[in-house]
């Protein structure tokens, strides 16, 4: 493993222990490493956590968020949406979508200005990445996700916390169904 990832033994061992503590993998002495396989329970738990934290945060973001940040995110989402609708998706669009996803939800969480929540959210985001490993991104899925994000941003741009919370909740419900393969 050290040769594959080009990392010395000690830092790799430390990193694997952290991942094991986080519940991302299980180390089986002298027989290998087993990553957890995302399933219904992990998906439900991850989205439940996100919903609890982000629904409170999006209300604050809608009321107090930086208008320039909201507008810039809205422009970037709209541009990507047009590119996906026109050209389909490729590695560049997937990378941009991942960046927009992290930035939007990161800005929402930062609105709470609470380092404990930010730290817990970063750890939860690792689980979210695991959930997405097996998900195939298609133009319709990316289009729906971008439109859901635009609904959130529009509500935040009009300083409507009720609409922002409702749009975020709808986004999480749809995202959870996508991750479970129900849509």
Gap between the Cα atoms of 115 and 25, Å rounded? 26
Mean pLDDT over the full length of the chain: 91
Residue-range domain boundaries for the chain: 2-35, 40-180
Q: Which two tokens stand for residue 3?
A: 């040769």
pLDDT of residue 182: 62
pLDDT of residue 18: 86
Gap between the Cα atoms of 34 and 68, Å rounded? 44
Q: What is the pLDDT of residues 33-71, one digit of tens each?
A: 888 777 788 888 888 999 999 999 999 999 999 999 999
CATH of domain 40-180: 1.20.120.530
Residue 27 pairs with which residues in a beta bridge? 33
- Residue 114, pLDDT > 90, answer yes
């Amino acid at each position: 493993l050290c040769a594959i990832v080009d990392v010395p033994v000690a830092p790799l061992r430390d990193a694997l222990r952290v991942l094991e503590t986080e519940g991302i993998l299980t180390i089986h002495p002298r027989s290998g490493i087993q990553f957890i396989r995302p399933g219904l329970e992990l998906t439900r738990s991850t989205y439940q956590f996100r919903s609890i934290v982000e629904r409170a945060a999006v209300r604050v973001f809608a009321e107090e968020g930086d208008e320039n940040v909201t507008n810039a995110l809205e422009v970037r989402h709209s541009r990507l949406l047009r590119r996906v609708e026109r050209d389909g998706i490729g590695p560049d669009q997937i990378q941009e979508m991942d960046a927009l996803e992290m930035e939007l939800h990161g800005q929402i969480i930062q609105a709470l200005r609470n380092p404990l929540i930010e730290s817990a959210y970063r750890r939860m985001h690792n689980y979210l990445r695991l959930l997405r490993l097996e998900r195939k991104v298609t133009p319709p899925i990316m289009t729906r996700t971008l439109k859901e994000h635009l609904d959130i941003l529009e509500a935040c741009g009009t300083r409507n916390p009720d609409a922002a919370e409702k749009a975020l909740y709808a986004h999480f419900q749809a995202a959870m169904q996508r991750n479970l393969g129900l849509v």
